[in-house]
Amino acid sequence: MNELRQKLTDVLRESSNIVFFGGAGVSTASNIPDFRSANGLFHQKLHRTLSPEEMVSRTFYERYPEDFFDFYRNHLVYPQAQPNDCHKALARLEQMGRLSAVVTQNIDGLHQKAGSKVVYELHGSVLRNYCTRCHKFYGVDAILEACGVPRCECGGVIKPDVVLYEESLDDTVINNAVRAIMSADTLIVGGTSLIVYPAAGLIHYYRGKNLILINKSTTTADSEASLVIHEDIASVMKEAVDALEAEK
C-alpha cells in the first residue's frame, strides 16, 4: 500500500460519519462510459452536430422524442452493468457503521445493487420510469423493449425518472444530500471533475475535517482538499477498506 492509500485508510479508521460524493468515474470500472465520450454525434435528420448535453436536454426530448429515446437507450442505459470494487467498498463502509450516505450524480443504480442503503441520486435513475399522463410506474425494460417512443397503456409517454438538462434537481433529494454533507466528519469526493452544476456546488456545504478527493485527473477543488489521490478509485477504495477490515 502506498503512502496516500495508507493515509486514506487512517482517515477511514478515525471517521464515524463519512459521506461519499461521486460522479461518472465511479462507474467506469463497470464498463459504463461517461456519456460525454459520445461528443460530436452527427444528427443526420437535423443536419448539424449535437453535443450529448443537447441530446439529453428537455428541449430535445420534447421536440424530437424518437431521437431522444434512441440516444438514451444507446448511451445512458446499461442493464448488464454490475457494481465494481468502489461500489462494493462503500457498501461495506456503510455496513461497518462508518459511512452514513452516498450522494451520486450517476443514474445507473449500482450503489444500491452493491448493497448501499442510503443513496441520494441527484440526477435520478434509469431504473425508474413513469407515464407522464397517468403516472403509472415502469421498470427499465419498458424503455429498452419499446420501439421508438415508449408508451403507457393509457397512451401517455413513459419518461425516465432522470433529470435532463434544463430541468431542476429534486428539492427533497438536494436537501437530504446537503444535510448529510453538512453533518459529515469526512467527505470523500470521487470520480468527478466537479464541473457539472448545481450538483458540484454541494461540496461547499461541507464543514468537516477531512475533504478527500480521488480522481484520475485534477479538479478545481484539489487545493482545498486535505488528501488528493489521482488514481483509479475502484482500486483505491477497495484497498483502503480491505486494510480497515483486516485490522479487526
* Active-site residue set: 123
Quickly tell me which residue has 421498470 as its cell. 139
C-alpha cell at 10: 487512517
Query: Which residues, listed in sequence order, are joined to residue 162 by a DSSP beta bridge?
Result: 124
Do 103 and 19 form a contact (C-beta atoms < 8 A)? yes
Measured from the Cβ of residue 26, the count of other Cβ atoms closer than 10 Å reads 31
- Residue 247 per-residue DSSP state: T
- The set of cell numbers assigned to 64 is 424530437
User: Residue 57 forms beta bridges with which residues?
Assistant: 165
Q: Classify each residue of 194-217 as buried b or exposed e, where b means 16 or more C-beta atoms within 10 Å of its C-beta.
A: bebeebbebbeebebebbbbbbee
Burial of 94 (0-12, 13-18, 19+ CB in 10 A): buried
What is the rounded CA–CA span in Å between residue 90 and residue 116? 7
- Residues 113 and 125 sit within 8 Å (Cβ to Cβ): no
Grid coordinates in use for 15?
471517521
Q: Euclidean distance between the first and final Cα of the chain, in Å? A: 18
Distance CA 131, CA 109 (A): 20
